[in-house]
Chains A and B, each alone.
Chain A
Amino acid sequence: MIKALKKLSNSQLAIPLFALFLVIVFNLVRDLSFFSISITTNNYGNTVLSGNIISILNGASELAVLAIAMTLVTSATKGQDISVGAVAAIAGSVFVSVLRGNDITLSVILLAFVTACIVAVLFALFTGMMVAFFNIQPMIASLILFTAGRPIAYWINGGATPTVESPLLGYIGSFIPGIPIPTPILIVIVFGLLVTLALRFTNLGLYIQSVGINERAARLNGINPMLMKLISFMILGVCVAIAGSINVCRIGLINHETILIDIEMDAILAVAIGGNALSGGKFKLSGSVIGAYIIQALTITLYAMKVSSTAVKAYKAIVIIAIVVIGSPVVQKYALQLRDKLFYNKPMKITENN
Chain B
Amino acid sequence: MKNDIVLSMSGICKRFPGVLALQNVDFTLCKGEIHALMGENGAGKSTLVKVLTGVYQKDSGQIKLAGIDNEVAIKSPQDAQNLGISTVYQEITLCPNLTVAENMFIGRGNYSFINWRDTHKKASDILKKLNIPTSATRQLGTCSLAVQQMVAVARAVDMDCKVLILDEPTSSLDEQEVELLFSLMRDLKSRGVGIIFITHFLEQVYEICDRITVLRNGELVGAYNINELPRVELISKMMGKELDDLSKLQHRKKEIPENAPYVYEASGLSSAEGTKPFNFEIHKGEVNGFTGLLGSGRSESVRAIFGADKITGGKVKINDRLAKISKPKDAMKYGMGYLPEDRKQDGIIDELSVRDNIILALQVMKGFFRPFSKSEAEAFADKYIKLLGIKTASSETPIKSLSGGNQQKAILARWLLTNPQYLILDEPTRGIDVGTKVEIQKLVLKLAEDGVSVTFISSEIEEMLTTCSRLIVMRDRKIVGELKGEDMTQAKIMHTIAGEATHND
Residues of A within 8 A of B351 (CB): 209, 213, 281-282
Check if A221 sits within 8 Å of B348, measured CB to CB: no
| Alpha-carbon distance between A282 and B338 when the two chains are bound, in angstroms | 25
Check if B346 sits within 8 Å of A217, measured CB to CB: yes
| Alpha-carbon distance between A331 and B179 when the two chains are bound, in angstroms | 55
Given contacts A200-B371, A203-B363, contact A220 B352 (CB under 8 A): no
| Alpha-carbon distance between A224 and B307 when the two chains are bound, in angstroms | 13
| Alpha-carbon distance between A220 and B328 when the two chains are bound, in angstroms | 5
A158 sits at the interface (CB 8 A): no
Given contacts A203-B363, A216-B346, A217-B345, contact A210 B328 (CB under 8 A): no
Check if A206 sits within 8 Å of B360, measured CB to CB: yes
| Alpha-carbon distance between A281 and B348 when the two chains are bound, in angstroms | 13
B340 sits at the interface (CB 8 A): yes
Check if B364 sits within 8 Å of A202, measured CB to CB: no
Q: Which one of A206, A213, A219 lies within 8 Å of B363 (CB-CB)?
A: A206
Check if B329 sits within 8 Å of A209, measured CB to CB: no
Residues of A within 8 A of B308 (CB): 219-220
- Among the interface residues A202, A214, A219, A224, which one has the most CB atoms of the partner chain B within 10 A? A214
Check if B348 sits within 8 Å of A222, measured CB to CB: no
Check if B364 sits within 8 Å of A222, measured CB to CB: yes
B116 sits at the interface (CB 8 A): no
Check if B352 sits within 8 Å of A213, measured CB to CB: yes
| Alpha-carbon distance between A236 and B348 when the two chains are bound, in angstroms | 28
Residues of A within 8 A of B367 (CB): 203
| Alpha-carbon distance between A223 and B338 when the two chains are bound, in angstroms | 14
| Alpha-carbon distance between A216 and B348 when the two chains are bound, in angstroms | 10
Given contacts A201-B371, A203-B368, contact A222 B361 (CB under 8 A): yes
Q: Which one of A200, A204, A220, A224 lies within 8 Å of B340 (CB-CB)?
A: A220
Q: Which one of A209, A216, A221, A281 lies within 8 Å of B345 (CB-CB)?
A: A216
Instruction: Say what secondary structure dominates the interface of chain A.
Output: helix
- Among the interface residues A216, A218, A222, A223, which one has the most CB atoms of the partner chain B within 10 A? A222
- Which residue of the partner chain B has the closest CB to A219? B328
Q: Which one of B306, B327, B349 lies within 8 Å of A217 (CB-CB)?
A: B349
Residues of A within 8 A of B332 (CB): 221-222
Residues of B within 8 A of A202 (CB): 368-369, 371
Residues of A within 8 A of B356 (CB): 206
Residues of B within 8 A of A220 (CB): 306, 308, 328, 338, 340, 346-347
B350 sits at the interface (CB 8 A): yes
| Alpha-carbon distance between A223 and B414 when the two chains are bound, in angstroms | 14
Check if A221 sits within 8 Å of B364, measured CB to CB: yes
Residues of A within 8 A of B106 (CB): none
Q: Which one of B327, B350, B365 lies within 8 Å of A213 (CB-CB)?
A: B350
Q: Which one of A207, A213, A214, A221 lies within 8 Å of B361 (CB-CB)?
A: A221
Q: Which one of A201, A209, A219, A222 lies within 8 Å of B369 (CB-CB)?
A: A201
Bits for B379-408, please: 1 = Cβ < 8 Å to A, else 0: 000000000000000000000000000000
Q: How far does the Cβ of B420 sit from chain A's closest Cβ, in whole Å?
A: 13
| Alpha-carbon distance between A223 and B356 when the two chains are bound, in angstroms | 14
Q: How far does the Cβ of B407 sit from chain A's closest Cβ, in whole Å?
A: 12
| Alpha-carbon distance between A210 and B350 when the two chains are bound, in angstroms | 9
Residues of A within 8 A of B340 (CB): 217, 220
Residues of B within 8 A of A201 (CB): 369, 371
Residues of A within 8 A of B348 (CB): 214, 217
| Alpha-carbon distance between A40 and B330 when the two chains are bound, in angstroms | 62
- Which residue of the partner chain A has the closest CB to B373? A200
| Alpha-carbon distance between A200 and B345 when the two chains are bound, in angstroms | 28
Residues of A within 8 A of B363 (CB): 203, 206
Residues of A within 8 A of B306 (CB): 220
Q: How far does the Cβ of A214 sit from chain B's closest Cβ, in whole Å?
A: 5
Given contacts A220-B308, A221-B361, A222-B361, contact A210 B368 (CB under 8 A): no
| Alpha-carbon distance between A210 and B361 when the two chains are bound, in angstroms | 11
Residues of B within 8 A of A223 (CB): 329, 364
Interface residues on A, range: 20 to 34
Bits for A214-247, please: 1 = Cβ < 8 Å to B, else 0: 1011111111100000000000000000000000
Q: How far does the Cβ of A190 sit from chain B's closest Cβ, in whole Å?
A: 21
Check if B329 sits within 8 Å of A218, measured CB to CB: no
Bits for A172-216, please: 1 = Cβ < 8 Å to B, else 0: 000000000000000000000000000011111011011001101
Q: How far does the Cβ of B157 sit from chain A's closest Cβ, in whole Å?
A: 35
| Alpha-carbon distance between A330 and B308 when the two chains are bound, in angstroms | 39
- Which residue of the partner chain A has the closest CB to B345? A216
Bits for B176-198, please: 1 = Cβ < 8 Å to A, else 0: 00000000000000000000000
Check if A210 sits within 8 Å of B352, measured CB to CB: yes
| Alpha-carbon distance between A216 and B369 when the two chains are bound, in angstroms | 22
Residues of B within 8 A of A218 (CB): 349
Check if B349 sits within 8 Å of A213, measured CB to CB: yes
- Which residue of the partner chain A has the closest CB to B356? A206
Q: Which one of B345, B346, B347, B360 lies within 8 Å of A210 (CB-CB)?
A: B360
| Alpha-carbon distance between A201 and B363 when the two chains are bound, in angstroms | 13
Check if A206 sits within 8 Å of B371, measured CB to CB: yes
- Which residue of the partner chain B has the closest CB to A199? B371
Q: Which one of A200, A207, A222, A282 lies within 8 Å of B328 (CB-CB)?
A: A222
Q: How far does the Cβ of B376 sit from chain A's closest Cβ, in whole Å?
A: 13
| Alpha-carbon distance between A106 and B371 when the two chains are bound, in angstroms | 36
Check if A221 sits within 8 Å of B350, measured CB to CB: no
| Alpha-carbon distance between A213 and B344 when the two chains are bound, in angstroms | 11
| Alpha-carbon distance between A101 and B194 when the two chains are bound, in angstroms | 82
| Alpha-carbon distance between A200 and B369 when the two chains are bound, in angstroms | 10
Check if A221 sits within 8 Å of B371, measured CB to CB: no
Residues of A within 8 A of B345 (CB): 214, 216-217
| Alpha-carbon distance between A179 and B255 when the two chains are bound, in angstroms | 78
Given contacts A203-B371, A206-B371, contact A217 B347 (CB under 8 A): yes
| Alpha-carbon distance between A101 and B415 when the two chains are bound, in angstroms | 57
| Alpha-carbon distance between A207 and B361 when the two chains are bound, in angstroms | 11
Check if A222 sits within 8 Å of B368, measured CB to CB: no
Check if A222 sits within 8 Å of B329, measured CB to CB: yes
* Residues in A279-313 with C-beta less than 8 Å from chain B: 281-282
Given contacts A213-B350, A217-B346, contact A224 B369 (CB under 8 A): no
| Alpha-carbon distance between A310 and B329 when the two chains are bound, in angstroms | 54
- Among the interface residues A202, A217, A224, A281, which one has the most CB atoms of the partner chain B within 10 A? A217
| Alpha-carbon distance between A264 and B28 when the two chains are bound, in angstroms | 61
- Which residue of the partner chain A has the closest CB to B368? A203
- Among the interface residues A203, A216, A282, which one has the most CB atoms of the partner chain B within 10 A? A203
- Among the interface residues A203, A220, A224, which one has the most CB atoms of the partner chain B within 10 A? A220
Residues of B within 8 A of A216 (CB): 345-346
- Which residue of the partner chain A has the closest CB to B367? A203
| Alpha-carbon distance between A191 and B371 when the two chains are bound, in angstroms | 21
- Among the interface residues B352, B356, B369, which one has the most CB atoms of the partner chain A within 10 A? B352
Q: How far does the Cβ of B345 sit from chain A's closest Cβ, in whole Å?
A: 6
Residues of B within 8 A of A219 (CB): 308, 327-328
Question: Other than the known A202-B371, A222-B327, what 9 A-B pairs have Cβ atoms closer than 8 Å?
Answer: A201-B371, A203-B369, A204-B368, A206-B352, A206-B360, A210-B360, A220-B340, A222-B329, A282-B351
18 pairs from A and B in contact (CB 8 Å cutoff) = A201-B369, A201-B371, A202-B369, A203-B367, A206-B356, A210-B352, A210-B360, A214-B346, A214-B349, A214-B350, A217-B347, A219-B328, A220-B306, A220-B346, A222-B364, A222-B365, A224-B327, A282-B352
Interface residues of B (CB under 8 A from A): 306, 308, 327-329, 332, 338, 340, 345-352, 356, 360-361, 363-365, 367-369, 371, 414
Closest CB pairs A-B (n = 5): A222-B329, A222-B364, A282-B351, A213-B349, A222-B332
